[in-house]
Amino acid sequence: MTGSARPWPGLHVAIPTPFAADGTVDRAEFVRHARWLAEREIRAIVVGGSLGEGGALTAEERRTLVADLVGALPARVSVIAAIGALTTSTAVDQARDAQEARAAGLLVLPPYVYRGDRRETLAHFAAILEATTLPCMLYNNPIAYGTDVDPELVETLARAHPNLTGVKESSGEVARIAALRSRLPDRLDLAVGLDEAVLDGVRAGAVGWVAGLANALPDESLALFRAARDGPPERADALYRWFRPLLHLDTVPKFVQEIKLVTAKRGFGSPRVRAPRLELAAAEAAATRALLAERLAHAPALAPERRPSRAP
Mean pLDDT, the chain, whole residue set = 94
Nearest to 18, CA basis, from 293, 307, 217, 263: 263
Sign of the four-CA dihedral 111, 115, 118, 120: negative
Q: Does position 181 have pLDDT exceeding 60, yes or no?
A: yes
The answer to whether 187 and 207 are in contact (CB under 8 A) is no
Residues 68-87: pLDDT tens digits?
999 999 999 999 999 999 99
| CA quadruple 256, 85, 202, 18: dihedral, nearest 10 | -30
DSSP alpha helix (H) spans, the chain: 27-38, 59-72, 88-100, 118-130, 142-145, 151-160, 175-183, 198-203, 218-230, 233-247, 255-265, 282-297
pTM beyond 0.85: yes
Provide the residue ranges of all domains of the chain, joining segments of one domain with +.
10-297
Determine the Cα–Cα distance for residues 180 and 106; give it in Å rounded to an integer: 20
Q: Does position 2 have pLDDT exceeding 60, yes or no?
A: no
Strands 164-169 and 189-192: parallel
Q: Does position 162 have pLDDT exceeding 70, yes or no?
A: yes
pLDDT number for residue 309? 60
Confidence of residue 185 (pLDDT cuts 50, 70, 90): confident
Query: Is domain 10-297 given the CATH code 1.10.760.10 in the classification?
Result: no
Mean pLDDT score, 84-101: 98
CA atoms within 13 A on the CB side of 259: 29
